[in-house]
Structure 1
Amino acid sequence: MIAFDDLTLAYDREPAVHHLTGRIDRGSLIALVGPNGAGKTTLIRAIAGEPIASAEGGLRVDTRRIGWLPQQAEIDRAFPIDVTGFVAMGLWAKIGAFGALGRKGRAQVAEALAAVGLPGFGARPLSALSGGQMQRVLFARLMLQDAELCLLDEPFAAVDARTTEELTALLLRWQAEGRTVVAVMHDLDLVRRTFPEALLIAREKIAQGPAREVLSEANLARARLVLASDTARRRDAA
């Protein structure tokens, strides 16, 4: 589904990710992990097709049906839209940005909200939602995109254990349906319990494979050391 060939992504001439080579197979459920500043969000944004200031090497994504779940901080919850209208954005590929939602579309939105535990929330404004409810709404919108490749940036940040458990079950269901799921994750215990695979980076690739093996103490220590060394080098060069 995704292939990296000596990929380097940079901002202001400083690589956020460099010389990354590898692949993510179709149907994978994989966590993208690493210390803060390791380049995880930059990498997943590049996979999603967002422009990066500078890119060298190769990045191939073998589908155009990509679903994207951003961090909550990127959502303007003061925008005057209700939950139904926001979730219905997931249907844009089918009905167009200015197409009428219709009875079928409203039914799909209602089903998606019920699936994430928010039946009857359609008329509420985004500003009235808690953090956990907003995250469920983002998952509902992603469900309607009917994507082959689902990309999620910190999908469980600032949500409680129950919400995390229920939304994690959705990721497992999507994988069982044959979708490829890539998620930026910080909760390493959750990754070990739930994700079959992990890709550990520290601006460069540290390890990839079964999550419990990748997240060994030795690999995590190496990731911290590599990132610290790279940061020190940049500071000395400045």
Structure 2
Amino acid sequence: MTQEKPPAIGFHDLTLGYDRHPAVHHITGEVDRGDLLALVGPNGAGKSTLLKGIIGQLKPLSGSLSLDGLKRNDIAYLPQQIDIDRSFPITVFDAVSMGLWRQIGTWGGLDRGLNLAVLGALATLGLQDLRQRSVGALSGGQFQRVLFARLLLQDAAIILLDEPFRAVDTKTVEDLLRLISHWHGEGRTVIAALHDLDQVREHFPKTLLLAREVVAWGRTKEVLTAKNLVKSRQLTEAWDEHAEICERGEAGTERISA
């Protein structure tokens, strides 16, 4: 009998928020190791909040989150571009090399092997001719390639992507989707917050539909139904931003077996 792998991430009645106001609440479930999971929902549904909870930027208001033997260093996180300061004077090569921080530390240098690793990541993302350019001079698509090259060097077991294709050209989206598919093929766990549902249906086998709470979670085809999408919009629009921590459990949540 094949032994089941432990989940990559476990949510245990988890509530996350700001100043004790919940942004996502009562989430229970598991992300299996090797999952390629889309995180979708209306604006304000709590997608970014959940990703920040996974990496530890936000502490639970109630409930808990477990990584089942993995460490925070096993997680690579790509925030939205709008949250990244590109004014710092740094070259593409140096920005990508920051993905090696676990090997070299904050102030360590690159030996020949690590230098070749950076050059390889640049080549994979089509950035070899831009390696000496300042990141502030890049287009949105070029900068996103830089961020993915840095993720590539982090060699993480879990990869979290927050709106990775927003304001990015079509060719870059196609290239990044191929890299994500490659990571999935390597058995890495990838969670991406996305808004293009056609893209999700085509490339992501599992989906978590969020609207401050879990609306549905499982196989993408069974999650992204008209009924569930309408419910997600209604839940988000009706949410009280000033509510205290709620006491309601998981009634009304639809969990679909994977």
TM-score range, shorter chain: over 0.9
| CA offset digits 1:129-151 (Å, max 9, x no partner) | 00000000000000000100001
Matched with 1:88 is 97
Aligned pairs for 1:20-169 within 5 A: 20-52=27-59, 55-62=61-68, 63-64=70-71, 65-169=74-178
1:212 aligns with one of 213, 221, 225:
221
Match of 1:189 in 2: 198
- Residue 39 and residue 183 in structure 1: after superposition, are their counterparts in 2 closer, same or farther (change >3 A)? same
Shift, 1:116, TM fit: 1.1
Aligned residue type for 1:4 = F
Q: CA deviation at 1:55?
A: 2.2
Return the match for 1:178 from 173, 187, 190: 187
Q: What is the distance in 1 between the residues matched to 2:239 and 2:78?
A: 29
**CA-CA distance at 1:231 after TM superposition:** 3.6
The amino acid of 1:51's aligned partner reads L
More helix by share: 1
Matched, 1:199 2:208: yes
The match for 2:20 is 13
Unmatched tracts of structure 2, length 5 or more = 1-7, 244-258
- Output the amino acid matched with 2:238: S
Cα RMSD over matched residues?
1.3
Tell me, what secondary structure is at the counterpart of 1:120? helix
SS at match of 1:18: strand
Aligned residues: 233
What is the rounded CA distance, in whole Å, between the counterparts of 2:56 and 2:17 in structure 1?
15
The two structures have a TM-score, normalised by structure 1, of: 0.94
3-state secondary structure, aligned to 2:99: helix
**What are the superposed Cα offsets for residues 135-170 of structure 1, whole Å, 9 maximum, x if unpaired?**
000000000001000011111110111111110011
Equivalent position SS for 2:179: helix
Q: Is the 8 A contact 2:21 2:241 kept in 1?
A: no
In 2, Cα distance between equivalents of 1:105 and 1:76:
26
Shift of 1:78: 1.1
Query: For residue 16 of structure 2, what is the amino acid of its counterpart?
Result: L
Report the residue type matching 1:35 in the other structure. P
- Report the Cα distance in structure 2 between the residues aligned to 1:183 and 1:231, rounded to whole angstroms: 26
Deviates more, 1:72-81 or 1:24-33: 72-81
| Residue 119 (structure 1) shift | 1.7
Where 1:76 maps in the other structure, the secondary structure is: coil
> Residues of 1 paired with 2:57 and 2:242: CA distance?
28
Q: In the alignment, residue 145 of structure 2 is paired with which amino acid? A: R
Give the share of equivalent positions with the same residue, in percent: 54
Residues in 1 aligned to 2:120 and 2:93: alpha-carbon distance in whole angstroms: 11
Contact 2:20 2:61 (8 Å CA) reproduced: no
Provide the C-alpha distance between the structure 1 equivalents of 2:58 and 2:209, rounded to a whole number of angstroms: 23
What SS does the corresponding residue of 1:81 show, helix, strand or coil? coil
Residue type of the alignment partner of 1:25: D
* Ranges of 4+ aligned residues in structure 1 off by more than 3 Å: 231-234
Alpha-carbon distance between aligned partners in 2 of 1:51 and 1:222, rounded to the nearest angstrom: 27
The answer for the alignment partner of 1:4 in structure 2 is 11
Give 1:51 shift.
Answer: 3.0
